[in-house]
Amino acid sequence: MLIIRDVTKIYRTQKQKEVKALDQINYEFDEQGFYAILGKSGSGKSTLLNLIAGLDKPTSGEIILNGKSFSDFKRKDLDAYRNSCVGFIFQEFNLFDNLDVYKNVALALELQGRKAKVEEIEKVLDRVGISDLIHRNINELSGGQKQRVAIARALIKNPKIIIADEPTGALDQETTNEIFDLLKGLSKEYLVIVVTHNEEYANQYAEHILHLSDGKQKEQVELTNKPLEAGMELEYKKSLSIFSSLKMGFSNLKISIVRLVLCILLTTMAFSSLGFCLTVSNFSMRDIVVNSVVCNEYEDPFVIVKDDDCVDEAFITRLNDRLGLNFKGVYNFSLDYYIPQNQKNKLLFSSNCLSLAKPYGILETNEAYLKKLNFTITGTFPQSDDEILITEYYYNTFARYGFENEEIQLNADEVTKEKIIGQTIQQDSYNDQSAKLKITGIVDTGFNMDKYRHLYDYDPNGMQYAHDFNLVQQIKYSSYHSLVFVKEGTLQSNSSLVYSNKDGYDFIIDNMPHDKKRIEEVYDYLDEVSSNENQYHLCFGLTSSQQKDLEAKLLNYQYFSGIAGAIFSIFSICLMFTLLNFTVERKKREMGVLRALGAKSRNIFFIFSSEGIYLCIFSLILSYIVSSIFVIVFNNSIKHSEGLLATIYHFEFIQFLIVFIIAIITTCVSIFIPVLKVTKKSPAEAIRMEIK
Ligand code: ADP
Ligand code: MG
């Protein structure tokens, strides 16, 4: 049924030399029987066997299966031939060490797209005499046992031809006898072709011997050309399912955990650095300001200032009209110190920066406005032009350090609201027109002192310093808590309260809308009306020049991380490419073996690419986590050093998407190229490829 006609095989070595491995071979095989191919090493036995098994193609001549030449076979015919007709047994067994006996045998069935049944596998193992080893690992077997597993793997496919290349080359004599007995038994049912260099065994077991010497056959064989017997049709079986391929790829991962972990670590580092750089090269001043203002620690109103200039009434009107807000103008204002002399230094130079030594601004308003803000008044609202309302925050300074004016002196423990209300205080004495004012009440502006109590005794050199310091600056200078309130018209008639020649307010203030969008609207409006000379800023604890410094710094980071990002992406691409390429290169032999067992190119492709895909996915998941951590740490360090409230950088979906796309494309390319190269080669060549 199998005819070899005039077959010649010439190998071309890498140095372009020609090696004639087979020279005009003619032979004929029947449906059953024990055939031996006998010859010294290098005589061309394996070459002939590979041709018969469809693992390689002859240079000239024909191999004819039931009247049809292999040269007329399409790729899928040859796949089907290997898959269903041939059971191949190697000298080195070529079992898969990461699978146990059961799975090694089952694999041959799966390659035919069939599900392995336990009874079926037990039966074959029983036939080769090792049914008790079914769940052993391959490396727990002796050479003879391994070869029996390999024979079982060939038999389970129920092939027509069993082909064995020096199956006992690695075995001792006793085991060799057993294996030959086994093969002899099988030759009653199957066509068994065995390559050997042992003449004794060939003579003892084989019914037919083909003698090879230097690629030539010794005896002349007349081809009978007898009529074809029908019977051996190619069976086109289904192949390994994608799921099984992926599963195999997964079990391949387990082989070298150390290398795998190393790969994942390296690629993770590369990808997460890339993710980090992408994140740092992407920041928005608008987000920083808006987020800082919204930041939950920031329950205070928001304040707008203009660079080195005053904000005029017209601007406030336009802003309020446009955005439906209720901004009011505030003038700078300063009082004398009204705490006892011996406490003053404590307040001014101690590490405590929370207490308000003096109010900061003066706001002309009415009782209804304060009510609307839910501020409650102890005492009364000012009725005349020389009366003021102080805040509970300012009052707390007295409660902590004591109070002193020309009339009375109170220690901290003597201070009560009743005693403070009615006291007279005076504008900063540096101001020549300083006016005397009477405190009519204390307004609770809702400042949550308890929340900041830790700041009373914190360490100015500690990590929290900048952050908390900023928080305090914010509380002190950009809120209602540090103002004094006077009735409407006061500033007009008591003009000494305001520094002369002012044509606008020092800053403007409104209650904080608890809606990010509103704050963004304000930011955008300010951006719109700002010109180079006149910039409006939303205060968020940084002065306008600090804001500019920050922006310059961030632009710097952006520049460097852009460069670093480019380097990292090239690095991660190269790394991934090399690692995966290396992985696949090492597996060439395995791929060849699988092909010889009947795997199609497609199966090979899935099995070996899945490995890379897993690697890629693991690294991506890890990179996501590591990048996020990098970003959090970097954010925190900037937050602390700059005293920011809000987070600057956000590792978002888009950055991850870029990393993801780069990783996937690199993975695909670096796997597909070598796998494609291998699947294009003949299986025989692939098997011969040793691990370099
Ligand atoms: P055997 O199996 O009888 O030991 P082979 O069939 O493996 O012999 O090899 C026959 C001859 O072909 C040897 O001289 C060997 O060096 C040569 N040969 C085998 N494979 C290749 C190859 N891929 N490239 C070049 N020469 C080869
Ligand atoms: Mg050989």
Please tell me if the CB atom of residue 44 comes closer than 6 angstroms to any atom of ligand 1: yes
The predicted pLDDT at position 691 comes to 38
The predicted pLDDT at position 460 comes to 58
- Ligand 1 atom closest to the CA of 684, numbered from 1: 23
Please tell me if the CB atom of residue 168 comes closer than 6 angstroms to any atom of ligand 1: no
Residue nearest atom 26 of ligand 1, based on CA coordinates = 11
What distance in angstroms lies between residue 221's CA and the mean position of ligand 2's atoms?
Answer: 23
- Nearest ligand to the CA atom of 45: 1
CA angle, 415 as apex, 411 and 418 as ends, to 5°?
Answer: 150
**Whether residue 348 is found in the same domain as residue 487:** yes
Mutate to test the pocket of ligand 1, among 38, 46, 194, 687 (most ligand atoms within 8 A of CB): 46
Q: Does the pLDDT at position 39 exceed 50? A: yes
- Ligand 1 atom closest to the CA of 44, numbered from 1: 6
The predicted pLDDT at position 455 comes to 67
DSSP annotation string for 259-314: HHHHHHHHHHHHHHHHHHHHHHT---HHHHHHHHHHSTT--S-EEEEETTBPBPHH
What pLDDT digit, counting tens, does each position of 467-523 carry? 666 667 666 777 888 899 999 988 887 777 776 567 788 888 887 676 788 888 888
**Whether residue 274 is found in the same domain as residue 348:** no
CB of 76 closer than 8 Å to CB of 54: no
Q: Does the pLDDT at position 211 exceed 90? A: yes
**Whether residue 176 is found in the same domain as residue 266:** no
Choose the weakest-confidence range: 234-243, 274-283, 412-421, 549-558: 234-243
What distance in angstroms lies between residue 390's CA and the mean position of ligand 1's atoms?
Answer: 102
Q: Does the pLDDT at position 561 exceed 80? A: yes
What pLDDT digit, counting tens, does each position of 510-557 carry? 876 767 888 888 889 888 888 877 888 887 666 667 778 888 999 999
CB of 101 closer than 8 Å to CB of 139: no
Residue nearest atom 5 of ligand 1, based on CA coordinates = 44
**Whether residue 445 is found in the same domain as residue 531:** yes
What pLDDT digit, counting tens, does each position of 219-259 carry? 887 777 655 554 456 777 777 777 878 777 777 766 677 87
Please tell me if the CB atom of residue 213 comes closer than 6 angstroms to any atom of ligand 1: no
In terms of pLDDT, which residue wins out, 497 or 164? 164
Please tell me if the CB atom of residue 45 comes closer than 6 angstroms to any atom of ligand 1: yes
Mutate to test the pocket of ligand 1, among 7, 9, 11 (most ligand atoms within 8 A of CB): 11
State the Cα–Cα distance between residues 551 and 502, nearest whole angstrom.
31
In a domain, 509, yes or no: yes
Please tell me if the CB atom of residue 369 comes closer than 6 angstroms to any atom of ligand 1: no
- Nearest ligand to the CA atom of 169: 2
Question: CA torsion 457→459→460→463, rounded to 10°?
Answer: -130
Within 10 angstroms of residue 5's Cβ, the number of other Cβ atoms is 17
Arithmetic mean of pLDDT, 573-584? 82
**Whether residue 375 is found in the same domain as residue 422:** yes
Last residue of a domain, one of 539, 569, 587: 539
Instruction: Indicate the number of domains in the chain.
Output: 3
Please tell me if the CB atom of residue 39 comes closer than 6 angstroms to any atom of ligand 1: yes
Give the environment of ion ligand 2: residues with CB less than 5 A: 46
CB of 437 closer than 8 Å to CB of 426: yes
DSSP annotation string for 201-237: HHHHH-SEEEEEETTEESS------PPPPTT------
- Give residues with Cβ within 8 angstroms of 286, minimum separation 6: 520, 523, 524, 527
Average pLDDT, the chain: 84
What pLDDT digit, counting tens, does each position of 109-153 carry? 888 888 888 999 999 999 888 999 999 999 999 988 999 999 999
- Give residues with Cβ within 8 angstroms of 157, minimum separation 6: 83, 84, 87, 108, 109, 112, 598
State the Cα–Cα distance between residues 541 and 302, nearest whole angstrom.
10
What distance in angstroms lies between residue 501's CA and the mean position of ligand 1's atoms?
Answer: 104
Max mean pLDDT range (274-278, 378-382, 594-598): 378-382
Q: What percent of the chain has pLDDT over 90?
A: 33
DSSP one-letter code for 692: -
Max mean pLDDT range (295-309, 495-509, 540-554, 623-637): 623-637
**Whether residue 336 is found in the same domain as residue 398:** yes
Query: Exposed, middle or buried: residue 339 (CB in 10 Å: 0-12, 13-18, 19+)?
Result: buried
In a domain, 243, yes or no: no
In a domain, 545, yes or no: no
In a domain, 546, yes or no: no
**Whether residue 404 is found in the same domain as residue 273:** no
Within 10 angstroms of residue 427's Cβ, the number of other Cβ atoms is 18
Please tell me if the CB atom of residue 50 comes closer than 6 angstroms to any atom of ligand 1: no
What distance in angstroms lies between residue 48's CA and the mean position of ligand 2's atoms?
Answer: 9
Choose the weakest-confidence range: 66-80, 182-196, 250-264: 250-264
**Whether residue 18 is found in the same domain as residue 91:** yes
Please tell me if the CB atom of residue 391 comes closer than 6 angstroms to any atom of ligand 1: no
- Ligand 1 atom closest to the CA of 19, numbered from 1: 26
| Lookup: tokens for 119 | 């009874």
Beta bridge partners of 366: none
**Whether residue 205 is found in the same domain as residue 228:** yes
- Ligand 1 atom closest to the CA of 43, numbered from 1: 3
The predicted pLDDT at position 458 comes to 60
Residue nearest atom 7 of ligand 1, based on CA coordinates = 46
- Nearest ligand to the CA atom of 43: 1
In a domain, 248, yes or no: no
**Whether residue 489 is found in the same domain as residue 395:** yes
What pLDDT digit, counting tens, does each position of 334-374 carry? 888 899 988 887 777 655 567 888 888 899 999 999 998 88
Please tell me if the CB atom of residue 52 comes closer than 6 angstroms to any atom of ligand 1: no
Q: Does the pLDDT at position 55 exceed 50? A: yes
Which pairs count as long-range contacts for 243-247, CB under 8 Å and 24+ apart, including other chains? 244/110, 245/603, 245/606, 245/607, 245/610, 246/606, 246/610
0.85 surpassed by pTM: no
Last residue of a domain, one of 494, 509, 539: 539
State the Cα–Cα distance between residues 268 and 500, nearest whole angstrom.
64
> What CATH number should be reported for the domain holding residue 231?
3.40.50.300
State the Cα–Cα distance between residues 470 and 541, nearest whole angstrom.
6
Domain with 20, as residue range(s), is 2-238
DSSP one-letter code for 82: I
Residue nearest atom 12 of ligand 1, based on CA coordinates = 21
- Nearest ligand to the CA atom of 681: 1
What distance in angstroms lies between residue 169's CA and the mean position of ligand 2's atoms?
Answer: 10
**Whether residue 522 is found in the same domain as residue 561:** no
Arithmetic mean of pLDDT, 612-638? 89
What distance in angstroms lies between residue 214's CA and the mean position of ligand 1's atoms?
Answer: 10
In a domain, 247, yes or no: no
In a domain, 77, yes or no: yes
Please tell me if the CB atom of residue 11 comes closer than 6 angstroms to any atom of ligand 1: yes
What distance in angstroms lies between residue 35's CA and the mean position of ligand 2's atoms?
Answer: 16
- Give residues with Cβ within 8 angstroms of 30, minimum separation 6: 1, 191
The predicted pLDDT at position 230 comes to 47
The predicted pLDDT at position 541 comes to 63
DSSP one-letter code for 71: G
In a domain, 155, yes or no: yes
Arithmetic mean of pLDDT, 64-92? 88
User: Using only C-alpha atoms, what is the Rg of the chain?
Assistant: 44
- Give residues with Cβ within 8 angstroms of 131, minimum separation 6: 122, 125
- Ligand 1 atom closest to the CA of 165, numbered from 1: 2
In this prediction, residue 77 has a pLDDT band, given cuts at 50, 70 and 90, of: confident
Please tell me if the CB atom of residue 46 comes closer than 6 angstroms to any atom of ligand 1: yes
- Ligand 1 atom closest to the CA of 49, numbered from 1: 6
State the Cα–Cα distance between residues 42 and 21, nearest whole angstrom.
8
In terms of pLDDT, which residue wins out, 458 or 565? 565
Mutate to test the pocket of ligand 1, among 10, 38, 47, 588 (most ligand atoms within 8 A of CB): 47
What distance in angstroms lies between residue 40's CA and the mean position of ligand 2's atoms?
Answer: 9
**Whether residue 385 is found in the same domain as residue 507:** yes
